[in-house]
């Protein structure tokens, strides 16, 4: 990432934080959420496959789950096409670090009740993509990026699976609503 890309993404993230502060929080539980967006940065094909299997199980309960997968490098991502995954590649960004107009408009036209950023250590690009997605309630996994999310759900033991994490999200958001 060059200086111009970094500068533009940080500037857009700062605007996003100000806009988020002005709009306030809208708390939503897993059960209440009609549409859920998952944002994931590609690490390994095995982890993506595990996530996709879990999403196919979750879709039986919640039909409207969308997965956006950011691929940092030009990796060959071979997956089963059972689940609708929207891949965002490095070539989808212009020289200024902004998402191409078609991709950006398709990302912005959808609105979600809940956004879950699954990255333990989100990159600047992942945070930028998260800011482009319209969501009423945002959940992140890293305490250092609490300005970009409404709540942070993490554990000191980060070895738990995606399934454990989603159960954690479901239980915790129910507790928030009930209080």
157 with 141: CB under 8 angstroms?
A: no
What's the pLDDT score for residue 81? 55
Buried b (16+ CB within 10 A) or exposed e, 77-114: eeeeeebebeebbeebbeeebbbeeebeeebeeeebbb
- List the one residue out of 47, 36, 57, 72 whose CA is nearest residue 159: 47
* Cα distances (angstroms) measured from residue 155 to each of 43, 140, 142: 20, 12, 10
What's the pLDDT score for residue 2? 86
Residue 97 CA, chain-centre distance (Å), reads 18
Instruction: Please say if the pLDDT value at position 65 is more than 90.
Output: yes
What's the pLDDT score for residue 171? 92
* Cα distances (angstroms) measured from residue 151 to each of 158, 160, 172: 17, 19, 10
- Tell me the average pLDDT across 43-71: 89
Instruction: Please say if the pLDDT value at position 151 is more than 70.
Output: yes
Task: Please state, in angstroms and rounded to a whole number, the distance separating the CA atoms of residues 111 and 115.
Answer: 10
CATH value of 29-178 in 3.40.50.620, 3.90.1150.10, 3.40.50.2000, 1.10.287.4070: 3.40.50.2000
Burial of 15 (0-12, 13-18, 19+ CB in 10 A): exposed
pTM value is 0.90
Q: What residues does each domain of the chain span?
A: 29-178
172 with 155: CB under 8 angstroms?
A: no
What's the pLDDT score for residue 11? 95
Average pLDDT, the chain: 87
What's the pLDDT score for residue 35? 94
């Amino acid at each position: 990432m060059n200086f111009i890309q970094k500068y533009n993404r940080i500037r857009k993230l700062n605007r996003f934080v100000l806009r988020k502060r002005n709009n306030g929080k809208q708390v939503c539980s897993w059960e209440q959420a009609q549409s859920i967006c998952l944002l994931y940065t590609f690490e390994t094909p095995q982890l993506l496959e595990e996530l996709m299997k879990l999403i196919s199980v979750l879709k039986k309960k919640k039909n409207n789950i969308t997965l956006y997968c950011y691929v940092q490098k030009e990796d060959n991502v071979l997956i089963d096409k059972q689940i609708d995954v929207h891949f965002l590649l490095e070539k989808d960004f212009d020289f200024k670090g902004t998402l191409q107009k078609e991709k950006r408009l398709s990302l912005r036209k959808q609105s979600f009740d809940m956004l879950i950023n699954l990255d333990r250590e989100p990159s600047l690009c992942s945070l930028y993509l998260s800011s482009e997605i319209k969501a009423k309630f945002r959940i992140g996994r890293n305490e250092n990026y609490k300005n970009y999310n409404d709540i942070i759900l993490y554990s000191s033991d980060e070895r738990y699976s995606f399934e454990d994490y989603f159960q954690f999200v479901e239980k915790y958001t129910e507790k928030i609503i009930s209080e």
